[in-house]
Chain A
Amino acid sequence: MTPERFRTIVDAYGADPRRWPDEERAAAEAWADRHRFEADALLAESAGLDAWLTSHTVAPPERAFVERIVATAPARRPAKPRGRLWWQGAAFAGIGLAGGLAGAFAVSFFVVTGTPTQAHDSSSYMTSSFDGSSADWSGE
């Protein structure tokens, strides 16, 4: 380690030995120990800037942004449980069959008993202007 190299290291990487190149750290620290006065002057000059740099922080990502990033990842589809699917299919088929039987029963019931009763008087809402009703004032 030369004085020039020590200065170059401090000028480039700052005063903290942990930031110095791994392969030169021990030699540089040894040089600083042997030349304390000279080294301290150089280190003090750089330490001030290090403190400024360290004071600059970047806020961590917000939770919503993290979730947005996670949502961009291709998602693996969860494996479908086969047994459950079989039961679901059987249930749907059962419901369909029951509906069909109920419909068939209702139709056969009306066929046997005759025409279903009219729920409403057909006088008003079943008529139209084609029935000759005067509701369209055509007679006026």
Chain B
Amino acid sequence: MSERDPDAELVARVGEQDPAAVRTLVSRKLPRLLALATRMLGDRMEAEDVAQEAFVRMWKQAPHWKEGEARFDTWIHRVALNLCYDRLRGRREDPVAELPDEADPQALPDMQLEARVRDERVRTALAALPVRQREALVLNYYQELSNIEAAALMGVTVDALESLLARARRNLRAQLAGSGFSKDMP
């Protein structure tokens, strides 16, 4: 890797137990990890548990972290994904079967209600995807990892990643078709 890891210096300070560095790392990584786990698991509470455990691993790893082939961000994504997979394997029922809560139409103004309904539709459609397709889409689209980084994280070739992404998008279109999906929506 030719470019320097943008997190390397910060992680070194975390390794020296610098309180300011700890706060900076939390503010930099927690929203990303929480978003990743929430989209992978479809459950906020479980996602928070995953994020917390991922940070415990970071604290342990930070004093020994050395800039190498993997960026710190890629490594922590791998850790969080493994924790998500542990939980997904532990589930007996597919979370797909869980329908989104219906928003109370009295409680929210029209615009907010529409946004919430749309959000729930996408969340349900994402949860219904096969796990590897969901992982590919979450890493590449939402976490904004490059195709090479996402493929490396998943242990597949870029071609295989593109195939997973294309299938994920086809499946999502099919699922959202029953939710007023059109070219111009939402």
Identify whether the interface residues of B are mostly helix, strand, loop, or mixed: helix
For B31, give its contact among A21, A45, A60 (CB under 8 Å).
Answer: A60
In the complex, the answer to whether A55 meets B183 with C-beta atoms within 8 Å is: no
Q: Which residues of A have CB within 8 Å of B59?
A: 72-74
A4 to chain B, nearest CB (A): 12
A74 to chain B, nearest CB (A): 6
CA of A45 to CA of B162 in the docked complex: distance in angstroms?
Answer: 17
For A68, give its contact among B52, B126, B182, B183 (CB under 8 Å).
Answer: B52
A39 to chain B, nearest CB (A): 15
Q: How many residues on the B side are at the interface (Cβ–Cβ under 8 A)?
A: 52
Binds A, one of B77-85, B89-97, B165-173: B165-173
Q: Which residues of A have CB within 8 Å of B146?
A: 21-22
In the complex, the answer to whether B119 meets A65 with C-beta atoms within 8 Å is: no
A122 to chain B, nearest CB (A): 64
In the complex, the answer to whether B172 meets A49 with C-beta atoms within 8 Å is: yes
Q: Which residues of B have CB within 8 Å of A66?
A: 26-27, 30
In the complex, the answer to whether A76 meets B169 with C-beta atoms within 8 Å is: no
CA of A59 to CA of B37 in the docked complex: distance in angstroms?
Answer: 12
**Residues A11 and B169 in contact in the complex (CB < 8 Å), given A48-B182, A58-B39:** yes
Instruction: Tell me if B184 counts as interface (CB < 8 A to partner A).
Output: yes
In the complex, the answer to whether A49 meets B34 with C-beta atoms within 8 Å is: no
**Residues A8 and B166 in contact in the complex (CB < 8 Å), given A56-B123, A61-B30, A76-B17:** yes
For B186, give its contact among A51, A65, A72, A76 (CB under 8 Å).
Answer: A51
Q: Mark B23-56, 1 if CB is under 8 A from A, else 0.
A: 1001100110011001100001000100110011
**Residues A73 and B17 in contact in the complex (CB < 8 Å), given A45-B183, A48-B182, A66-B27:** yes
Binds B, one of A12-20, A94-102, A106-114: A12-20
CA of A14 to CA of B173 in the docked complex: distance in angstroms?
Answer: 12
Instruction: Tell me if A91 counts as interface (CB < 8 A to partner B).
Output: no
A6 to chain B, nearest CB (A): 13
For B184, give its contact among A48, A56, A76 (CB under 8 Å).
Answer: A48
**Residues A14 and B169 in contact in the complex (CB < 8 Å), given A61-B30, A69-B26:** yes
Q: Mark B118-141, 1 if CB is under 8 A from A, else 0.
A: 110111001000000000010011
For B172, give its contact among A21, A47, A52 (CB under 8 Å).
Answer: A52
CA of A34 to CA of B141 in the docked complex: distance in angstroms?
Answer: 27
B146 to chain A, nearest CB (A): 7
In the complex, the answer to whether B56 meets A52 with C-beta atoms within 8 Å is: no
Instruction: Tell me if B153 counts as interface (CB < 8 A to partner A).
Output: no
A107 to chain B, nearest CB (A): 53
Q: Which residues of B have CB within 8 Å of A72?
A: 52, 55-56, 59
Q: Which residues of B have CB within 8 Å of A44?
A: 183
Jot down 12 A-B pairs with beta carbons below 8 A, ordered by A: A8-B166, A12-B169, A14-B141, A21-B146, A21-B147, A49-B176, A55-B122, A58-B35, A61-B48, A72-B56, A75-B17, A76-B16
The 5 closest A-B pairs by CB, nearest first: A76-B17, A56-B122, A12-B165, A48-B183, A12-B162
